[in-house]
Amino acid sequence: MTERKTKYTTISIPRELYRRVEGIIEGTGFRSSTEYIVYLVRQAVIAIEADRQLIHSLPYMIPGADEEGP
């Protein structure tokens, strides 16, 4: 299996959305719509992961212990 096949997978997005990405790629420095979409998804994932990490560490959200720790 080539490295590309082990490191990448294929997803489908609506063709209309793909065309919109193609329409805004000019001048961004990205070499392809795929590269730009990967960048956008990565940015969204970083933000959502960071949001989740904050939410789940709020003491108000954590189920309470009825015994103290060691």
- The contact set with other proteins (CB under 8 A) reads 42-44, 46-48, 50-51, 53-70
Closest CB to other proteins among residues 17, 46: 46
SS3 68: coil
Residue from 30, 63, 55 nearest 21 by CA = 30
Residue from 38, 56, 59 nearest 48 by CA = 56
Closest CB to other proteins among residues 14, 64: 64
Q: How far is the CB of 2 from other proteins (least distance, A)?
A: 26
SS3 40: helix
Closest CB to other proteins among residues 2, 59: 59
Amino acid at 25: I
Q: How far is the CB of 29 from other proteins (least distance, A)?
A: 16
